[in-house]
Structure 1
């Protein structure tokens, strides 16, 4: 996104101001065209992903057009990198796509700026059917009481472990329900026996920290504030400082830093530098592609009820669209039509509609994907309520946690010092 930060801020503010009059038309769509009319409608549709996702998405949209010949699509997609810069530019120019893909890092920000259409009235009228969604999944799209996005794929946190190396070392596999202390003890014994560190140190991983917090009765966010204190962060860092002190439990700081890279191909369970890595359940198939060893996946340590049905991503409708009724109908179709579900498969996560999910499961042949689905469905029976969608500034929280944890891992700061610096930086980010 070009221009100075001040110019970008002014552009965003101007865009938000332009959108305010649109709200007077009502979020129910007013006199906008419908999918069942004969009037030609072209919808713009924007998402991130690769070639495979593009083909699947376009094939599903072609199916919609076959059933609604008056509706066609202008599709645009690109890699994840730069996607949100492009979306911000379109929004600032009051030219956002009618339908766009978004994730929980940005949903609150776009909802707060009145970019996303409140879908609540569509949901209540049945025009947007979420009856077959896990309740905690669709609720993870609610921001300040408004349904800002439709969850388009379910996911949850997953601890991936190397079954081949553990079996070769005659070590038991980790099990769901282990306490954090039990898991660390397991990692120490397994790592010593296998001569490979038992686990990647997850102190820099916001997913692991988030689950741990929820097991302490807290959360990442509470209203417009953080849901935890510097003391909580200190305790989290100290937990892993103790783990690092035990030989065989975690890799050294430089290798931990390598594992903190977001590239899935660099996860330590794949590179052979740790027996476990902290990822998302649906990343097991991609990890498996990068190693000849057999991998398994389970919940994070502690009470699995702390995990929830996380929306891997959402589809939102632009509040300024003059074709919002049709846009909502398209999203409803993509989420709930069995034929569309078969086309889209599990590319964006497990289908949100449980009936569609069952249909799609029957078409899956990949062993690791079947494992992911089984684990997700098993955990789904114990999922707790979803947390609130992260606040604006969530990306800063993630990057600052890595920075703070790595300073402790490298011995450059105490747990308490790093925690205080982390809290200060994140509070500044979410208050902007």
Structure 2
């Protein structure tokens, strides 16, 4: 789920987990990892990976994750449950709030004291995997020691980097168009539907604006999620190997689409669009009443609902829904040089597939990856918004296509540059074509 960030002593101030680590510091840290990892791995090989002679020998695993106090409590309880079932395994647990997490992870890995098991997201998975920091989990998956049989295929595939399974999804998410059902019902307006085209969505939003006097849709031209889905529907992608998967002409078409929507009054004004771009999930325009729809992640529905008195609905993004995929909300990865790889992998398998552990963790890290156990969690919860999120994910899962490749180095910068370029077009500081050209050049620099 959308992680909380309480002000705690364990959470150093600074960037959020979505903010890229300063380039020089990241490269320095990861270069050290690249040099040290083979030495650590070699030492592990000499000493043996998991005591083969005595399966009951004491094992202590270090585990590192980000999140708020609620996540920490749930995670600690789940790890305690593992120890209860495997008394020889104990854990050295470290967690902190989002800010500074990846600074700390880089420091730990570069300093020769990496955690055996750690949480990571798609902003950094490819970078850590490319430097052999993460263990390839493929052999564990193929042997059944890491059971993904009940996972959506595109969910576990979204952890594959250069043919290696670098991380396993701790939870599932996908893109969702959330709309105000109460507003539409009040004015006798139809609800949006999965499968409507982008042009149909904009025409619908224009009708809402004229009838309800509320802009029908937030302008998502700055939203990388929407742009990514739209690209896939055009036969393109956000990335292709180590390069961009799109051209300036593609971006121009995207910006032109939303200029037309703004000109028709289907979206808010640029100042309000900007507000939607920069505010957190609790203040999205569909919640504040400044637009009838917002472009979010499906698992954010419960948090949206907490901040609105209206009934909310959610459908897929416009266009062919097979362009969407089961996205990993975050991953669990194992350090390649861990002396206890087998046990660390077994812990991941336990957190994903043990019914008691999954019910305990609930949806804190997204909807459970195991679809059978997801239904158990749905039956167990009394939160109607969570039931709705799980039901929508289950429906969309039947329409999901193949997952894209995990984002490459520079992805965070690409996201921020899209916001900058889109807002230049929204405010009229540049034409769509000019803003698109500037965006592509900035992206090329970011991923170089």
Query: Cα deviations across residues 179-212 of structure 1 (Å, max 9, x unaligned)?
Result: 0000000000012211111111000000000000
Cα distance in structure 2, aligned partners of 1:400 and 1:5: 16
- SS at 2:77's partner residue? helix
Q: How does 1:263-274 map to 2 (within 5 A)?
A: 263-274=280-291
Q: Which of 115, 123, 129 is equivalent to 1:105?
A: 123
2:370 alignment counterpart: 353
Q: Distance in 2 between matches of 1:363 and 1:36?
A: 39
Segment drifting more, 207-216 vs 187-196: 187-196
1:392 aligns with 2:409: yes
Q: For residues 153 and 169 of structure 1, do their structure 2 counterparts lie closer, same or farther at Cα, with a shift above 3 Å needed?
A: same
Paired position in structure 1 for 2:199: 181
Change (3 A) 1:426 1:35: farther
| Partner Cα separation in structure 2 for residue 196 and residue 360 of structure 1 | 36
Name 2:91's counterpart in structure 1.
Answer: 73
Q: Distance in 2 between matches of 1:153 and 1:299?
A: 19
Give the aligned partner of residue 37 of structure 1: 55
Is the aligned partner of 1:245 residue 2:284?
no
Shift in CA distance, 59/410, structure 1 to aligned 2, threshold 3 Å: same
SS at match of 1:313: strand
Report the equivalent of 1:125: 143
Segment of structure 1 superposing worse, 1-10 or 265-274: 1-10
Report if the CA contact (8 A) 1:33-1:325 is conserved.
no
Pick which of 7-16 and 162-171 moved more.
7-16
Distance 1:406 1:62, change over 3 A: same
The answer (yes or no) to whether the contact 2:49–2:340 under 8 Å persists in 1 is: no
Structure 2 counterpart of 1:277, from 289, 294, 306? 294
Distance 2:52 2:334 in 1: 15
**Residues 62-117 of structure 1: per-residue CA shift (max 9 Å, x gap):** 11000011111111112222211211121221222111111111110110111111
Tell me which residue corresponds to 2:321: 304
- 1:28-71 deviation digits (Å, cap 9, x = unpaired): x9532379822211111111111111111111111100001111
Match of 1:236 among 254, 257, 264: 254
CA distance in 1 between counterparts of 2:54 and 2:321 reads: 45
> Structure 2 stretches of 5 or more lacking a match?
1-13, 16-20
Kept after mapping to 2: 8 A contact 1:261/1:267: no
* Native 8 Å contact 1:218 1:227 kept in 2: yes
Residue matched to 1:372: 389
Q: Is 1:287 matched up with 2:304?
A: yes
Shift of 1:162: 0.6
Paired residues of 1:36 and 1:68 also in contact (CA < 8 A): no
Distance 1:47 1:11 in 2: 18
Unaligned runs of 5+ in 1: none
Which stretch has the larger CA shift, 10-19 or 185-194? 10-19
Question: Offset at 1:4?
Answer: 8.6
Give the TM-score normalised by structure 2.
0.92
Change (3 A) 1:206 1:79: same
Alpha-carbon distance in 1 for matches of 2:25, 2:79: 37
Distance in 1, matches of 2:25 and 2:236, equals: 38
Contact 1:41 1:72 (8 Å CA) reproduced: yes
Spell out, residue by residue over 1:336-356, the C-alpha distance to the aligned partner (whole angstroms, 9 max, x if none).
111111101111111111222
- Please identify, of 65-74 and 8-17, the stretch whose mean Cα deviation from structure 2 is larger: 8-17
Measured after TM superposition, the shift of residue 283 of structure 1 is 0.4
- 1:25 positional shift: 7.1
Could you say what secondary structure the match of 1:312 adopts? strand
Question: Bigger CA drift: 73-82 or 392-401?
Answer: 73-82
> Tell me, what secondary structure is at the counterpart of 2:80?
helix
- The answer to whether the Cα contact below 8 Å between 1:34 and 1:325 also exists between their aligned partners in 2 is no
Of residues 43, 53, 59, the one that matches 2:71 is: 53
After TM superposition, the score normalised by the length of structure 1 is 0.95
